[in-house]
Amino acid sequence: MREIVRKRLGSLLSGWLGGPGEIPFWIGLRGPTASELGARFDEVRGWAAEWERAASGPLRVEYKKVGGRSFGANEVPYRAWIDGYEQAWQLLGVRPEAERLLALAERTRDSHPRLVSWLVRRPLKALELAGDWERLLATVAWIDSHDVSGLYLRQVDVPGVDTKFIGSHRGVLSELLDLQLAPSRIDVAGEGFEGRYGFRRKPGYVRFRLESGSTGFSEMVVRVDELQAAPVGVTRVYVIENEVTYLAFPLRAGEAVILGGGYAVGLLESLTWLSSLDVVYWGDIDTHGFAILNRLRRHFPDARSMLMDRATLLAHQSQWVTESAPTAVALDYLDQAESELYRALVGGDFGPAVRLEQERVSFARVWGAASGAGALG
């Protein structure tokens, strides 16, 4: 009985705060049959005595008659009732928790009445956060009272609140802010917590190498939103995934190499000037490598692939490894040869989850491709 009621604790606490209530309620008891009454009378009597004692405490017990011709009729417990919240708290031993929740609700009703509905809806989570509740309310209040456009989360100035606190409570803060803020303050299409509530997002960065040091540097990391034009003199850009391969990649005059960083290649989508250059992508020969190529090509349809062909794969069979979580999504921007190889990888034509990482490709083959042979023609 106690375990059954404990499973209802969330809804009971919700009703305690004024939400939809389910008090009183009863739970059926699995009592003895007429045959068990005669065969196991002493056990039945002990069982009934336990419920009689319970009836003097938090429960109300309802009885029914059980018996037959060979054994007299007897009244045995068949329902146990919880008639009020106090009885539930007594049964579960959670009176202090219920009082704590009520105090949180009263405090919230005084300062942030819009947020009381959250407590009603998520009472168990509220109790879990009781020690942080004041700081959560203060964070919501600060954001509500400030124009945060142009601010980073680091600039939220609440005693005891830092970016780690906000980061570890993003989910709850999002739910609270959605209730507290005016609709015009919420960008439902915004990306992440910062985008949804108008904060500045951490900028994306592009890391690239140049063939010469005409700028005084051979390698740079630049904010994506500030890289408004191609480096002077660059006409071809290679996008490469592996860092060491990126560092070792041979460049000629007029060429640059960008470190793609897997699906972070999406950062390049805002670099519209790439459309005017010869863009060459080289990723791993596996299902995700082709998915990344497909994404890049959605924005730069003329981008070419390099060393992502059947010949390169078969030439390095001893270097194959296993792709941990292959994808099988439809890819619409691959050319015929790429599509055929992708389908072969998805279908396991070469074996299960075959993968050739770009750092395992012989450097002689890389040199040949970068010099204009092989995949680059």
Domains: count for the chain: 3
Instruction: State how far the Cα of 284 lies from the Cα of 240, in Å rounded to an integer.
Output: 9
For residues 178 and 171, give the distance between their C-alpha atoms in angstroms, rounded to a whole number: 11
Verify that 62 and 161 share a domain, yes or no: no
Residues 75 and 32 in one domain: yes
Task: Give the H or E element holding residue 81.
Answer: strand 74-82
| Whether residue 225 sits in one domain with residue 372 | yes
| Shared domain check, 339 and 318 | yes
Residue range of the domain that includes 217: 205-376
Assigned domain for 166 exists: yes
**CA 289 – CA 284 distance, rounded (Å):** 5
Considering the domain architecture, whether residues 369 and 247 belong to the same structural domain is answered as yes
Structure tokens at 30: 């699995």
Q: Which two tokens stand for residue 374?
A: 């092989």
Tokens of 130: 């009781």
Asked if residue 307 lies in contact with residue 358, where contact means CB atoms within 8 angstroms, the answer is yes
**125/66 Cα distance (integer angstroms):** 44
In a shared domain, residues 193 and 209: no
Edge to edge, what strands does the sheet with 60-66 contain? Answer: 25-28, 74-82, 60-66
Contact call for residues 29 and 52 (beta carbons, < 8 A): no
Judge whether 248 lies within some domain: yes
Q: Is 278 exposed, middle or buried (0-12, 13-18, 19+ CB in 10 A)?
A: middle
Tens place of pLDDT per residue across the chain (377 aa): 889 899 999 999 999 898 777 789 898 888 777 677 767 878 888 888 888 887 777 888 888 877 656 556 677 888 888 889 999 999 999 999 999 999 999 999 999 999 999 999 999 999 999 999 999 999 999 999 999 998 999 999 999 999 999 999 999 999 999 999 999 999 999 889 999 999 998 888 999 999 765 567 889 999 998 998 998 889 999 999 999 999 999 999 899 999 988 777 888 988 999 999 999 999 999 999 999 999 999 999 999 999 999 999 999 999 999 999 999 999 999 999 999 999 999 999 999 999 999 999 999 999 999 887 334 43
Pair 259, 221 in one domain: yes
pTM, entire model:
0.69
The residue among 197, 216, 233 that closes a domain is 197
